[in-house]
Amino acid sequence: MIALARAPATVANLGPGLDVLGLALAGEGDRVRAEPSEHPGVTIRSSGHPELPLDPTRNTAGIAAMSVLRRAGAQGAPGARGTTCGVVLAVTKGVPLSGGQGGSAASAAAAAVAVNAVLGGRLGANDLLEACLEAETAVAGRHADNLGAALLGGIVLVRSLDPLDVVRLPVPERLVVVIAEPDQRLETAEARALLPERVDRALAVHQAAQVGALVAALASGDLALLGRAIDDRIAEPVRAPRLIGFAEAKAAALGAGALACSISGSGPAAFALVERGGAGERVAEAMAAAYRSRGVACRARVAEIDRAGARLEET
């Protein structure tokens, strides 16, 4: 069969949850079309963007697809009768490149789900997550916050990578997200290099308390507590100075009624959390205007939380 899968953009970290928390954004996302081939392994027909390689060993969708094939035991003798021994992928990018919205994770998740469907759905969610983690590790570093959200949807917490242990968290019905996309680039590798290797114990304690409070707030629906818990003192302080307009956008978001605002993943995108029916459009406009006031073009939109994660679509 031919399969088409889509996976959402994601906001990693959610402030204090560096490498630990991820949230899936409703919207276009990335799409991967996979069809079986007698040619062994993975061939990428279109990568979705001129900057993305067609070489499957250097493309996140390709690496995830290869891992799914291997895990499903589908790389049998080339051409053996009745065996799907390879796949051809076509990627359509809806998530911006290097935008801090989990583009590599979305492509990997969509590819994993599409290829798994081509193979008859042999792998479960955990195997797919492991396959995607191989891809993410190769292109963006070993973390599963974007991936977990892209694959499972909603808001996830990555308790452990070894063994992989990803927890779906409750999502308050009243919670919506504003995502601002300033016209900037900050490569993931560069953004990670800014992080301190060591932190004060008191800071680690603070950060753990915020993650705990954030989870408690999601579970109880206490949006005011959720806002207070988004207080990141590890990543935001070192990344914000590299993101022109972020400080102004954050102040504008909070001034316009956002519950909280921080950097989406490693940036440059910024996110704000808002209560439904409240300040969404106003916060989006305020953030975009703040970036523009610093000379940075910016699109901002109100987004629902994608609760389904990566899924198949009609081909």
Q: Does 229 bind a copy of itself (CB under 8 A)?
A: yes
Q: 106 with 117: CB under 8 angstroms?
A: no
CB of 156 to a copy of itself, least distance (A): 10
Q: Which residues pair with 295 in a beta bridge?
A: none
- Give per-residue burial for 121-131: e unless 16+ CB within 10 Å, then b: eebebebbbbb
Which residue's CB is nearer to a copy of itself, number 200 or number 313? 200
CB atoms inside a 10 Å sphere around CB 189: 12
Could you tell me the sign of the dihedral formed by the alpha carbons of 143, 148, 149, 150, in that order?
Answer: positive
CB of 124 to a copy of itself, least distance (A): 18
| Residues near a copy of itself (CB under 8 A), total | 41
Q: Does 237 bind a copy of itself (CB under 8 A)?
A: no
Cα 315 to Cα 309: distance, rounded to the nearest angstrom: 18
Q: 106 with 309: CB under 8 angstroms?
A: no
Binding test (CB under 8 A) with a copy of itself, winner from 1, 80, 189, 216 = 216
Q: Does 226 bind a copy of itself (CB under 8 A)?
A: no
**DSSP reduced 3-state for 222:** coil
Return the structure tokens found at 83.
Answer: 């065996």
CA angle (271 as vertex; 311, 266 as ends), nearest 5: 85
Only one of the segments 47-55, 112-120, 217-225, 281-289 lies at the binding site for a copy of itself (rule: CB under 8 A); that segment is 217-225
Any idea of the CA torsion for 42, 48, 49, 52, to the nearest 10 degrees? -20
Binding test (CB under 8 A) with a copy of itself, winner from 1, 2, 189, 204 = 204
CB of 141 to a copy of itself, least distance (A): 12
Q: 60 with 47: CB under 8 angstroms?
A: no
Side chain identity, residue 137: T
Q: Does 207 bind a copy of itself (CB under 8 A)?
A: yes
Binding test (CB under 8 A) with a copy of itself, winner from 193, 198, 277, 314 = 198
CB of 196 to a copy of itself, least distance (A): 6
Binding test (CB under 8 A) with a copy of itself, winner from 1, 2, 189, 219 = 219
Write the CA distances from 134 to 61, 129, 149, 207, integer angstroms: 11, 9, 16, 27
Which residue's CB is nearer to a copy of itself, number 155 or number 256? 155
Binding test (CB under 8 A) with a copy of itself, winner from 189, 205, 297, 308 = 205
Q: Does 234 bind a copy of itself (CB under 8 A)?
A: yes
Binding test (CB under 8 A) with a copy of itself, winner from 80, 209, 297, 308 = 209
Residues in region 163-192 near a copy of itself by CB under 8 A: 165, 167, 169-170
Q: Does 16 bind a copy of itself (CB under 8 A)?
A: yes
Residues that bind a copy of itself (CB under 8 A): 16-21, 157-160, 165, 167, 169-170, 195-201, 203-216, 219-220, 225, 228-229, 234
